Amino acid sequence: MKYTALIIVLSMLFPYQVFGQTLPDLGDVSQATVTPRQERQIGLQIMRQIRADPSYLDDPEVADYLSRIGSRLVAVSDRYVFEHSFEFFALNNSEINAFAMPGGFMGFHSGLITAAQSESELAGVMAHEIAHVTQKHLARMISGSQYPGMIASIAALAIAILASRSNPQAGSAVMAATQAGMIQAQLNFTRKHEKEADRIGFDMLVKAGFDPHGMASFFERMQNASRYHESGAPSFLRTHPVTFERIADIQNRVREVSYRQVPDSIEFHLVRAKLRALQGSAFQKVSEFDARLQDRRYINETAERYGLIQALLRARQYGRAEKELNVLYQTIQSDPAAQPIKNHSLGKPIRIAGDYVQAAAMIDTLAAHVKFENGQVEDAFKLYQTALAAYPHYRALIYGYADALLQHGQPQKALDFTRKQLQILRNDIRLHQLEARSHEVLGNRLQQHQAQAEALILEGKYKQAIGQLEIALRQKHENFYQLSSVEARLRQLKEAVAEHEKDR
């Protein structure tokens, strides 16, 4: 089987806990075992499988939101010494869980994000995970007696990821069993890590301006769920053993901090609503949002209507989605101190309270999508252009506009636009893919395969990238400099792969 080698490599080079326990800042004792470079390569190998999994949520708005919260926490960490930048991503999985992997990759289930009742609760979980990194917990685990057990756990994890591609239920079952067995075998060893991550994470939470009550309330709610539903306890508890002692320690720390109210950002509510709209069947979600709006069972009406429109788009009810868009704009809170944004449906400026910039960009992105799907192509393009002028680096708008240009038969405009964006976002996988699609439609075969290769390199798929560059060289092309560029890139990549094989 072509994946056997990957599993063997993971089991040999990656003896780590990945689900919700540790993300390494390798140093000291463990530095001689796994280098930061190897750590990154291992993380990329696993991310390769995760990105191919149906549960991987390739959503720039969700990922960027998690990155903003994560960066805010990392910025105030006194112990942050790490060779790689973090990459936060989400999985469309209703289970409540989070996990960390080598190389700076951190994943959060959509179920955890929607289960968080406040932004501070979500930040509390993220701070706890980040603390595992800054405290070098993996280095301690590698030097401990649990080393062999972790090898088996990672092999099982790799198999679970592969199994879930053909049979999601079977894959999830293997993952759950892997997590449970791994935690049971190492429970005593990790308790001190969990307590230390609580303490360091709590300090990060306070310094970053979040409500520290959020960490205590989330853990306490998970503990209560375990007590009353023992057979179906949240998977978060299987990977993060929460005890009454830990909760009491956090609550004692909370009492030492002066209370101040920390409101949630509008973006938090919008992201949660979007994730809720993605779970389950589209028509079921439309009914759920309708019922909650009718009964006024919501925290934020703007977010609830935003989620309804997302569900309507999934259900392909484009006409009603546009009608609901008008209602959405009317429900946005008015705040004279906030910056005005153009209401493209009602034709007049509106003001959004709180974190209006990201919220306005999310709503404009949704509005452009609704217009385009409803056949109002020119209106959609105008909206994209106006919104991009206001939020030039907002990835969802960038991707949406380029994709709309391609769908509407304007590949040259799409190519010019993506090339301009790549001057700033050079390591953006989606932009390289959009560039490749543009070249494909235009018939530029050499450039198409060259762009595909760059996307594959960023995904860690080096051998496939080599294949794309070799295909590019077989294309008829009269531009000597273009051919030389491809040849140079191919040599560079082959040397890097050879060096990687040698390091193994």
Known catalytic residues are 129, 198
Phi/psi for 317 (5° steps) reads: -95, 70
Query: How many C-beta atoms surround the C-beta of residue 172 within 10 A?
Result: 17
Q: Is 77 helix (H, G, I), strand (E, B) or coil?
A: coil
Q: What is the DSSP letter of 79?
A: T
The tokens for 6 are 């990957």
Q: Which residue(s) pair with 56 in the sheet?
A: 91
Strands 105-109 and 87-91: parallel
Q: Which residue(s) pair with 309 in the sheet?
A: none
Distance CA(392)–CA(390), nearest Å, equals 6
Q: DSSP labels for 405-449?
A: HHHTT-HHHHHHHHHHHHTT-TT-HHHHHHHHHHHHHHT-HHHHH
Burial of 295 (0-12, 13-18, 19+ CB in 10 A): exposed
First to last CA, the chain: 20
The tokens for 411 are 């590949």
3-state SS, one letter per residue, for 252-299: HHHHCCCCCCCCCCHHHHHHHHHHHHHCCCHHHHHHHHHHHHHHCCCC
Distance CA(109)–CA(126), nearest Å, equals 12
Q: Is 71 helix (H, G, I), strand (E, B) or coil?
A: helix
Q: For residue 21, which amino acid is it?
A: Q
Distance CA(312)–CA(324), nearest Å, equals 9
Distance CA(329)–CA(341), nearest Å, equals 11
Q: DSSP labels for 306-363?
A: HHHHHHHHHTT-HHHHHHHHHHHHHHSPP-TTSPEEEETTTTEEEE--SSHHHHHHHH
**Radius of gyration for the chain, computed over Cα atoms and rounded to the nearest angstrom:** 24
Answer for the pair 401, 421: CB distance below 8 angstroms, yes or no: no
Distance CA(210)–CA(122), nearest Å, equals 10
Distance CA(139)–CA(77), nearest Å, equals 19
Answer for the pair 16, 24: CB distance below 8 angstroms, yes or no: yes
Distance of alpha carbon 320 from the chain centroid? 30
Cα distances from 135 to residues 27, 106, 196, 280, 413, in angstroms, run 11, 16, 8, 38, 48
